[in-house]
Structure 1
Amino acid sequence: MIKSVIKISKRNLVRSFQSKTVTYRYASQNIKNEGEAETHFGFGTVKEAEKWRKVHKVFEDVASSYDLMNDAMSLGIHRFWKDVFVERLAPIAGGNKLLDMAGGTGDIAFRFLKYLNNMPKDVEQESNHVTVSDINQNMLDVGIQRFSKLNCDQSNCTINWVRADAENLPFDDNSYTAYTIAFGIRNVTHIDKVLSEAYRVLQPGGRFHCLEFSHMTNGYLKWMYDQYSFQVIPPMGQILAGQWQPYQYLVESIRRFPDQQHFARLIEDAGFECVEYENLTGGICAIHSGFKLK
C-alpha cells in the first residue's frame, strides 16, 4: 500500500496542487493586456502591478498570527534557522549598521541585539544601529509592539522602523554594513531589483545575507515535505489563524522560488562576490551570502 502511494507521478501531484489554487485567482487574471508583463503568484499568473497588492494582502491578513503560525508550521524549527542565520552573520563588536528587510515582526533584529548583548562586556563597543524595514505596516506594528515589551539592553544599539519597498529603497548609497532578508525575497515581484537595491545601499565590504525557503536535495524526503506542505499547512492556517488562502500561497510560493544554484547566480549577477550558500534541514531553507567588495 505504501509503495503504491509513493509511486504517484510528479505530474499528477503537481496537477492536484494546481487545481486547488483555481478558486483563489482573481477574475482580472483572465483579462489579456498585451502591454502589461505577468508574473507568478503562487502557482497562478497575475499582472506584475497586481502581485504586490496580493502579497500585501496576504501579510496584512496574517500579521497578528504570524509568529504563532511559524511555530506551528515548522514545529518551532524556524527559531533554530534564525539563530543560525544571525550567528553566521557574526556581527562585530561595534559600528554595525544593519538593514533588515522584510523584517517587520523583528525576529532577526531582536536576535541581532541579543548577539551584541552576549559579547564580552570588556570589549569596547562603538554604537550600532538597526533599521527594520517592511512594505507592510501591519507587520511593522507587530514588531514595534513586541519591541516595546522586549527586556533587552539597548544601550549599545539604536533601532528604527521604516515602511519601504525592497525594490525601491529610500536609503542613501553606501549606507549599511550589512543587509539581511529572512523569508521575504520570494514574495517580491522582481528579485533582481531587490538584489540591486541591496547592493546599492551597502558600503564597500558590506555583506548581503539572506535566509529563504529552498529546495530539498533528497527525493523521498521532498515527497514527504510536499505532502505535509500542501495537505497540512493550509488546513492548519484555517484552524489556528482563520486563514486558508495565505498559507496555500505560502507553500506554492516556495515551489516557485529559484533553487540554490540559480539564486546564487542571481546574487552574483547583482555584483556581489564571494557568494555561497548553506542548506539547513536538508535544504528546506538555505542561507545565501555575498559581499560588496567595490
Structure 2
Amino acid sequence: MSNDTVSFGYEEVSPAEKTQRVGAVFSSVAAKYDVMNDAMSAGMHRLWKDRFVRRVKPQPGEAILDMAGGTGDIAFRMEERGASVTVSDINQDMLDVGIERAMQRGIDGLVWSRQNAEALTFEDRVFDAYTIAFGIRNVTNIPAALKEAHRVLKFGGRFFCLEFSSTDWPGFREVYDLYSHKLMPKIGKLIADDEDSYRYLAESIRRFPKPLEFEAMIRAAGFVNTRVEKILGGAVNIHSGWKV
C-alpha cells in the first residue's frame, strides 16, 4: 500500500474514494443490516454485543459516545443502564434506521449526530467513554479516528472497540475463511440482494490489522492499560484502553 492509497477490501483506492465507497456500502445495506447480522452470525452478534457492553460498564449519568453506532444496537443496551448516549455515524441512512428503531421501542433519550470519526465536532474531554462496534475497520484513516477518540474523552475516560479479525484457531481458521469469502456474499445476495457489499465486508476483515497490531495503534494514539480480549480465537476482539 502506498502513502496515497488505502485498502477497500482487496483493492487499493484513494482515501476519498474509500470514504465514498464505504458510504455507498452502508447506504445499500442499512435497511437489512440487522437481519443480515443475525443470518451471518447465527445470532451470536447479540451475545458479543452483550459481552462488550458488560465490559464497558456504562453507569447512570455517564456521557458516552457510541461511534459508528448506526442502527443503535450498542446504544440501546447502554441506555438501559442509565447512561447518556450520543449515537454517531458518518452514514445518515444507518442513523435513520436507528432512529426509527428507537421510536418503535419508545426510546427517546438518545442523541443522534452525524459525525466523521476522523474529525469529530465535539469539544475536548466531554465523554466518559467512547465505544465503537464493528465500525473501526471501515474508517479511512484509523490512526486519526483513534486520536479523535482520545481527544474527546475526559481524563480517566475509557475506550472500547468491538471488531472482527482473523482467527488463529487451527481448523476453525480455514472454515471461517471459507465461510466469509464464499458464503457471506451469497447470503448477502439472498437476503439483501447485495452480493458486492457483503464481499467487501468480508474482505475488510482480512485487511484489518491483527489484534496485537491494532492494540499498538491504540497505544500510539495515547491510550494506556490497553487490553485485547479474544473471542473465537481472535475472530472477534474486544479492545480497550484508558486516557490518563
Do both proteins adopt the same fold according to a TM-score greater than 0.5, normalized to the shorter chain?
A: yes
Question: TM-score of the superposition, structure 1-length normalised?
Answer: 0.81
1:18-77: per-residue Cα shift (whole Å, max 9, x none)?
Answer: xxxxxxxxxxxxxxxx9x811110001111111000000000000000000000000000
Q: Which amino acid aligns with 1:37?
A: D
User: How far apart are 1:282 and its partner, in Å?
Assistant: 2.3
Q: Which amino acid aligns with 1:50?
A: E
1:230-278: per-residue Cα shift (whole Å, max 9, x none)?
Answer: 1111011001100000000010000000001000000000000000010
Q: Distance in 2 between the 1:91 and 1:144 partners?
A: 21
Q: Distance in 1 between the 2:93 and 2:12 partners?
A: 26
Task: Give the counterpart of 2:208 among 257, 262, 266.
Answer: 257
Question: 2:28: which partner in 1?
Answer: 61
Q: Distance in 2 between the 1:50 and 1:72 partners?
A: 29
Q: Distance in 2 between the 1:208 and 1:46 partners?
A: 29
Q: Distance in 1 between the 2:138 and 2:156 partners?
A: 27
Question: 2:46: which partner in 1?
Answer: 79
1:99 maps onto 2:65 in alignment: yes
1:292 maps onto 2:243 in alignment: yes
Q: Distance in 2 between the 1:111 and 1:235 partners?
A: 30
User: How far apart are 1:218 and its partner, in Å?
Assistant: 1.1
User: How far apart are 1:104 and its partner, in Å?
Assistant: 1.2
Q: Say whether the 8 Å CA contact 2:150–2:243 is kept in structure 1.
A: yes
Aligned length: 243
**Secondary structure, counterpart of 1:271 in structure 2:** coil
Question: 2:91: which partner in 1?
Answer: 136
1:115 maps onto 2:70 in alignment: no
- Identity among equivalent positions (%) equals 51
Considering only CA atoms, is the larger Rg found in Structure 1 or Structure 2? Answer: 1
Question: 2:10: which partner in 1?
Answer: 43
Q: Distance in 1 between the 2:100 and 2:92 partners?
A: 12
Q: Distance in 1 between the 2:155 and 2:61 partners?
A: 14
Q: Distance in 1 between the 2:152 and 2:239 partners?
A: 18
**Secondary structure, counterpart of 1:66 in structure 2:** helix
Task: Give the counterpart of 1:162 among 89, 113, 116.
Answer: 113
Q: Say whether the 8 Å CA contact 2:79–2:110 is kept in structure 1.
A: no
Task: Give the counterpart of 1:182 among 133, 156, 176.
Answer: 133
Structure 2: gaps of 5 or more residues: none
Structure 1: gaps of 5 or more residues: 1-33, 117-127
Question: TM-score of the superposition, structure 2-length normalised?
Answer: 0.97
Superposition RMSD in Å: 1.3
1:248 maps onto 2:193 in alignment: no
